[in-house]
Amino acid sequence: GENVEQHPSTLSVQEGDSAVIKCTYSDSASNYFPWYKQELGKRPQLIIDIRSNVGEKKDQRIAVTLNKTAKHFSLHITETQPEDSAVYFCAARLSYNTDKLIFGTGTRLQVFP
Amino acid sequence: DTAVSQTPKYLVTQMGNDKSIKCEQNLGHDTMYWYKQDSKKFLKIMFSYNNKELIINETVPNRFSPKSPDKAHLNLHINSLELGDSAVYFCASSHETVAGNTIYFGEGSWLTVV
């Protein structure tokens, strides 16, 4: 079946440093890639998304890049802050079932003050 | 106002019992989902309904039965609960836009089977 691989599973950075999380997807026709942030004990919430006709998208300190040829996309967080500590999930929408998002396995980001 | 609300938030029950989790969304979305998040934090889709019609039914034991009385509600009933059913169950909803179909999650229901 289709899947999304996500790396690393855990990431520790010092406050102010950058963090990068990478995902690879298998459905070459996937066209929508959201990123979700889940704080401890809370629900996953959308933080940024990108469609396949765009190579990069930025929103303040976060950005997402997409390489369709290589079938991978990445989340970049700059100037990290302790409140960025959470589990981050990437996802890819299947081209043949647009109701279905396949989630990556999650990255636990810890930002140390 | 909570956009996607589910009850109960916490549920502790014994093996073999039957339990239900209710979900309602007030966003006017056509599609609703149930996701399961296990202890390793993996998020797996279980079911998807579009306008009360079942669209996605992953390989979930038939002890799990979703019911959608209308497009704003999607309940999950679980029969003969097993230890392995312990997880967080998230209800969610979405609707299609030009940008994509953003999924909005409820706050989750923590199910513990003892």
CB contact under 8 A, B41 and A87: yes
C-alpha of B66 from chain center: 8
What is the separation of C-alpha B32 from the centre of its chain, rounded to a whole number of angstroms?
8
The residues near A106 (Cβ < 8 Å, ≥ 6 apart) are: A6, A9, A38, A87, A88, A89, B41, B42, B43
The pLDDT of residue A95: 74
Q: What is the pLDDT of residues A68-92, one digit of tens each?
A: 999 999 999 999 999 999 999 999 9
Dmax (CA) of chain B: 45
Q: Is B44 on the interface with A (CB under 8 A)?
A: yes
Look at A67 and A101; give whichever has higher pLDDT.
Answer: A67
| Alpha-carbon distance A8 to nearest alpha carbon in chain B (angstroms) | 14
Tokens 């704003």 correspond to what residue?
B72
A–B CB contacts, 8 A cutoff, strictly below: 56
Q: Which tens digits make up the pLDDT trace of A6-62? A: 999 999 999 999 999 999 999 888 889 999 999 999 999 999 999 888 899 999 999
B5-43 burial code (b ≥16 CB/10 A, e <16):
ebbeeebebeeeeebebbbbbeeebbbbbbbbbeeebeb
CB contact under 8 A, B48 and A98: no
Taking CB atoms and an 8 Å limit, are B100 and A43 in contact across chains? no
Nearest to B48 by CA among B56, B37, B39, B58: B56
* Residue B84: partners with Cβ closer than 8 Å, 6 or more residues away: B113
pLDDT value, residue B85: 96
| B105/A contact by beta carbon, under 8 A | yes
Measure CB to CB from residue A32 to each of B90, B100, B104 and give the nearest one. B100
Task: Render each residue's pLDDT in chain B as its tens digit; 114 residues.
Answer: 669 999 999 999 999 999 999 999 999 998 999 999 998 889 999 999 888 888 877 878 999 999 999 999 999 999 999 999 999 999 999 987 766 678 999 999 999 999
Of the partner residues B56, B90, B100, the one whose CB lies closest to the CB of residue A93: B100
B39 has a chain A CB within 8 A of its CB: no
- Per-residue model confidence (pLDDT) at position A108: 97
Show the CA angle centred on residue B93, arms to residues B59 and A85, nearest 5°. Answer: 90
Q: How confident is the model at residue A96 (pLDDT cuts 50, 70, 90)?
A: low
